[in-house]
Amino acid sequence: MGFLEWARSPWGQNVPIHIAWFLIWVAIIAGLLFFIVHATYLRYFAKVKEFASSDSPLIAARIPERVPRHSLTARLFHWSMAASMFTLLFTAFLPKVGIRFDWVTYHWIAGAVLTCSILFHVIHASFFMDFWAIWPDKIDARDAQRRVLRFFGKAAPPPDRFAKYPLENKLYHGAIIATGLSAIVTGVFMMFRVRTIFFPRNPYLFSDMTWGMMYVLHGLAGVGLITLIMMHVYFGLRPEKRAITKSMIYGWMSRDFYLKEHDPTRWPVETSAGPERSHGANAEGLTDAG
Ligand code: HEM
């Protein structure tokens, strides 16, 4: 049983044509195993979350009751990307598991929507949002080490509260960039193999071997996305993450949740008096952030 399917080209060369479709089931089972392992860990092994310091009542009082988290533009991007991503997954994989329909047209249309929304997101995040908010920083690395030490019962100070995004979310975003861009770049080239409204069909653009590798990379990214999207939906539905999921619908999270999990020095909130910063608390973290 191989991981790839092969064919013989007109020139007698053995070329890969795509991944073996049993990998769809491997990806789904990996996602289900992740649910079981993570839920068991949380239920029986994880310790109660503890953070380094909390804010003075003065700072807490200046945080608005509803802390803005996602702008309307960011939410519209998120949900249009989610809709195109689910359409891509279902149109790609349902026919491979026996549900036959004319999938290719729906698939490349959803692919074009995803490509445009990602282009928009890159511009929006680079020039209109805090670009660095989603990348791990020194405090994340230091706190990850502290969390691991504390889990194993070793002496270590408690970690700081999170900036806008916890380290896990930042790492997930990185994994989605790698798999998502692989699917998009290969998918754009693969549109030359079918009839679309964008450019004339040209199946001779690449050699059979290059096309084969491209289909393999597209398929691998696709099955990887099955597992990643399953994990994302699982976290979105978990009760302790509900405040975050709701903020992707309504745009804000409650002051209580913000102060419990987020550090106003690392993620200052816009108040009527300008960005709110806590003074004194977590000064060490502020220095580390540079
Ligand atoms: C969630 C993301 C995606 C998944 C899971 C996915 C999955 C797949 C799979 C499994 C195939 C069948 C390939 C084969 O037979 O080896 C396929 C074909 C195709 N994909 Fe995607 N894809 C995704 C994103 C995209 C994007 C973003 C585009 C376009 C920009 C795209 C364009 C295409 C095209 C044109 C084909 C048809 C190729 C052909 O029939 O010759 N895909 N996709």
DSSP state of 98: T
Ligand 1 contact via 109 beta carbon (within 6 Å):
no
Q: What is the pLDDT of residue 217?
A: 98
* Helix (H), strand (E) counts: the chain: 10, 6
pLDDT classification of 127: cutoffs 50, 70, 90? very high
Residue nearest to atom 31 of ligand 1 (CA): 187
Q: Please state the rounded mean pLDDT for residues 227-255.
A: 97
CA pair distance 96, 31, nearest whole angstrom:
19
Mean pLDDT of 198-219: 96
| Tokens found for residue 219 | 């398929």
Q: Is it the case that residue 277 has pLDDT exceeding 50?
A: no
- Report the mean per-residue pLDDT for the chain: 91
More confident residue, 88 or 129: 88
C-alpha triplet 97, 35, 70: angle, nearest 5°: 95
Q: Which atom of ligand 1 is nearest to the CA of 104?
A: 37
What's the gap in Å between 273 CA and the centre of ligand 1? 49
Q: Whose CA is nearest to atom 16 of ligand 1?
A: 18
**Any idea what DSSP says for residue 45?**
I
The alpha carbon of 92 and the centre of ligand 1 are apart by a number of angstroms equal to 6
d(CA 173, CA 100): 33
pLDDT (average), residues 123-127: 95
Residue 24 Cβ inside 6 Å of ligand 1? The answer reads: no
Q: What is this structure's pTM?
A: 0.89
CA 128 to ligand 1 centroid distance, Å:
31
69 Cβ inside 6 Å of ligand 1? no
Atom from ligand 1 closest to the CA of residue 190: 35
**Ranges 128-132, 141-145, 152-156, most confident:** 141-145
Measured from the Cα of 229, ligand 1's closest atom is 1
pLDDT of residue 269: 87
The predicted-structure confidence for 52-63, as pLDDT tens digits, reads as follows: 877 677 778 889
Per-residue pLDDT band for 287 (boundaries 50, 70, 90) equals very low
Distances (CA, A) of 15 to 63, 85, 206: 61, 29, 13
184 lines ligand 1 (CB under 6 A): yes
pLDDT at 18 over 90: yes
pLDDT > 70 fraction of the chain, expressed in percent and rounded = 92
Nearest C-alpha to atom 8 of ligand 1 is from which residue? 92
Query: Residue 152 in contact with residue 113, Cβ under 8 Å?
Result: no
Atom of ligand 1 nearest to the CA of 89: 5
Is residue 271 pLDDT above 70, yes or no? no
Report residue 175's pLDDT band, with 50, 70 and 90 as the boundaries: very high
Among 184, 218, 238, 185, which Cα is nearest to 43's?
238
